[in-house]
Structure 1
Amino acid sequence: MSVAETIKSKLTDALAPSELQVIDESHKHKGHRGARPEGETHFHVVIVAERFAGMMRVARQRLVYGILADELAGPVHALSLETVAPGEGKRAG
């Protein structure tokens, strides 16, 4: 299973999102520290989940970082997050 597939699977299982995008942005970081030639080191995740309702942004991010702790300790060098509760503001398209 690819790193992106693992991220999708873990977040889906833990948060049952209504929307989930896992975007591999590794190609933007070629030659940078932490980048591997095979990619899958830098990701942007957009996740819309009811679980985020009433949570502050930092709490949402900590929740996601906890779910993906193994990936962040290993193959993932950078992870940017857009965490949204249903009905809230703008999301990446």
Structure 2
Amino acid sequence: MSWISIIAIYALFWVLTAFVVLPFGIKSMDEAGAEKLLGQDHGSPANFQPKKILLRTTLLSAALFGLYYVNYVYGWIDRHSFDALYSGMGNS
């Protein structure tokens, strides 16, 4: 696997992980009991911490990419692992 592929696949893992990690630990203005400004949405986050989100995203995406890369090297799960799912679909 080339370095460009590694960077591109890690970037995909990072972006997908960011969307998974983003809602955890966030409290809305109503849940936190914080005072809202005029026109502010009731669901806007009261305790948004981007550094914590970036750290969690980076750690989780690194772990997931590590699993992906180890599977790529050792071939634990390949395309032939899913042949049993499709074996009966084309025989109708």
Q: Give the TM-score normalised by structure 1.
A: 0.27
Q: Which is strand-richer, 1 or 2?
A: 1
Higher helix share goes to which structure?
A: 2
Computing the radius of gyration from Cα coordinates, the structure with the larger value is 2
